[in-house]
């Protein structure tokens, strides 16, 4: 479902797929993060997004290097470990028409950055927040992260004794308005979720299990490719339809689907698999996550969405003109006001 011209490969904003690319990746061959970068490229290309309207943010770690490998024509800030959310908030106020894509990892989000992650969610800043979750520190060569499963054994670290932090549960508990989990080995689902996330007006958390082929990819561990392939349970099949394509929507068979309309009129169509899951039900979201944990399943799909909660931008009245294009006349009070200000100061 794209508007790309099949002959020329040019999309509606006149760009080819190459215009969405980044530099060649320096991550390991087969790293799940590269697969995610490719789906970001595909999603933005297919959605006719103008790359200059996207700003990329990241923290520190393998995941946080990946913004260099997609959307070369977008501004990007590779900041501090665990502190990307605050930076993103400041920048997006500079021009509220921009969309943020943040890429973080499980160390960056669930260890050092858990506080900022939760407060970003609480403020519901419109941006996509991708966690490339592999349960391990790659860039420092193989230490446990906070999402590592209990009992995981790593070469130099021994056995992890602690229960993992569940990023989706943390997000839900912080009143996230969009929570999804996916698997880097399921590129189609990753792409559709990224498309939906970018249309959501609020923080869209995507916890994507992204195997680390170098340090944590043993077949029986939950962050590995083999485990993911064998244990992925999709809540539903989903397709995202931008508002402008509503007339051409290729629906699933009637009666099997559920639609979620997002803020901008675009639609997520969920095809029922097994049970009829309603992602607007927050209690059900907690329940399926807990059940999956008990059954040791990799549950994927749109776990929770609330398109009605206002974003931080909706809580104030701002002018349409971007803040960073305002002139001196617009931001410095006129000279005649200084008299009034001095009177406020109990002038004698």
Partner 1 sequence: MSQHQPDMISTSTPERQPVVNDFSITFCTVNGSGSATSNLTVLRAIFKMGIPVSGKNIFPSNIQGLPTWYSIRVNKDGFTARVEKDDIIVAMNPATFIQDLDYVVPGGMVLYSDDIKLTPTRSDLTYYPMPVKQLIRSIDITPQLRDFVSNMIYVGVLAWLIGIDMEAIRAALEYHFKGRAKPVETNLAAIRVAYDWAAANLQENHTYRLQPMKATEGMILSDGNTAAALGAIYGGVQFVAWYPITPGSSLPEALIEYLPELRMNKETGEQNYMIVQAEDEIAAIGMLVGAGWGGLRAMTATAGPGLSLMTEYLGLAYFAEVPLVVWDVQRVGPSTGLPTRTAQGDLTGVYFMGHGDTNFIQLFPGNMNECFEFGWKAFDIAERLQMPVVVLSDLDLGMNQWMGQPFEYPDRPMDRGKVLWEGDLDLFEAKTGKKWGRYLDVDGDGIPYRTLPGNLNPRSAYFTRGTGHDEYARYSEDPEVWERNILRLAKKIQTAKSYMPGPVIQRMEQAQAGIIAVGSTDAAVQEARLKLADRGIKTDYMRIRGWPFTQEVDEFVRTHERIYVVEINRDGQLRQILMINYPEQASHFRKVARVNGLPLSARWIIDEILSQEEK
Q: Which residues bind partner 1 (CB under 8 A)?
A: 50-53, 55, 67-68, 72-80, 83, 85-95, 97-98, 115-116, 119, 123, 316-319, 322-326, 328, 330-333, 335, 337-338, 341-342, 345-348
Question: Which one, 95 or 237, has the nearer CB to partner 1?
Answer: 95
Handedness of CA 212, 218, 222, 225 (dihedral sign): positive
Question: Which one, 5 or 52, has the nearer CB to partner 1?
Answer: 52
Question: Which one, 115 or 265, has the nearer CB to partner 1?
Answer: 115
Quick check: 51 and 19 in contact, CB under 8 A? yes
Task: Write out the DSSP string of 71-138.
Answer: -TTSEEEE--TT-HHHHHHHHHHH-TT-EEEEEEEHHHHHTTTHHHHHHHHHHT-SEEEEEEE-SEET
* Shortest CB 113 distance to partner 1, Å: 10
* Shortest CB 294 distance to partner 1, Å: 33
* Shortest CB 123 distance to partner 1, Å: 8
Give the Cα separation of 314 and 323 in Å (integer).
16
Handedness of CA 115, 117, 122, 123 (dihedral sign): positive
Beta strands in the chain (DSSP E): 54-58, 75-78, 99-105, 127-133, 136-137, 143-144, 153-154, 158-159, 178-183, 203-209, 232-234, 236-241, 257-261, 267-272, 298-305
* Shortest CB 276 distance to partner 1, Å: 38
Distance of CA 300 to the CA centre of its chain: 14
* Shortest CB 87 distance to partner 1, Å: 4
Question: Which one, 84 or 136, has the nearer CB to partner 1?
Answer: 84
* Shortest CB 307 distance to partner 1, Å: 24
Question: Which one, 156 or 339, has the nearer CB to partner 1?
Answer: 339
Question: Which one, 65 or 201, has the nearer CB to partner 1?
Answer: 65
């Amino acid at each position: 479902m794209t508007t790309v011209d099949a002959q020329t490969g040019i999309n509606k904003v006149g760009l080819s797929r190459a215009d969405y690319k980044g530099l060649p990746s320096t991550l390991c061959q087969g790293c799940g993060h590269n697969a995610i970068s490719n789906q970001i490229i595909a999603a933005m290309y297919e959605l006719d997004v103008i790359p200059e309207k996207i700003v990329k943010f990241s923290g520190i770690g393998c995941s946080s290097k990946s913004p260099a490998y997609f959307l070369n024509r977008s501004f990007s800030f590779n900041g501090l470990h665990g502190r990307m959310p605050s930076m993103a908030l400041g920048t997006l106020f500079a021009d509220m028409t921009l969309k943020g894509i943040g890429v973080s990892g499980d160390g960056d989000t669930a260890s050092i950055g858990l506080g900022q992650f939760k407060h970003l969610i609480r403020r519901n800043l419109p941006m996509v927040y991708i966690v490339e979750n592999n349960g391990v520190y790659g860039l420092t060569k193989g230490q446990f992260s906070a999402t590592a499963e209990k009992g995981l054994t790593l070469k130099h670290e021994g056995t992890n004794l602690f229960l993992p932090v569940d990023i989706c549960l943390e997000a839900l508990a912080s009143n996230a308005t969009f929570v999804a989990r996916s698997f880097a080995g399921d590129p189609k689902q990753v792409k559709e979720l990224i498309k939906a996330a970018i249309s959501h007006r609020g923080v869209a958390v995507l916890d994507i299990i992204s195997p680390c082929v170098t340090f944590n990819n043993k077949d029986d561990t939950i962050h590995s490719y083999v485990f993911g392939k064998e244990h992925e349970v999709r809540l539903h099949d989903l397709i995202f339809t931008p508002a402008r394509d509503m007339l051409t929507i290729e629906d699933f068979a009637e009666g099997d689907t559920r639609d979620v309309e997002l803020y901008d009129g675009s639609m997520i169509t969920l095809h029922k698999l097994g049970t009829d899951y309603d992602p607007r039900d927050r209690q059900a979201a907690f329940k399926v996550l807990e059940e999956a944990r008990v059954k040791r399943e990799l549950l994927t799909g749109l776990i929770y969405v609330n398109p009605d909660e206002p974003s931080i931008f909706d809580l104030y009245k701002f002018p349409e003109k971007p803040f960073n294009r305002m002139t001196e006349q617009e931001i410095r009070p006129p000279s005649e006001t200084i008299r009034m200000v001095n009177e406020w100061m109990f002038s004698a």
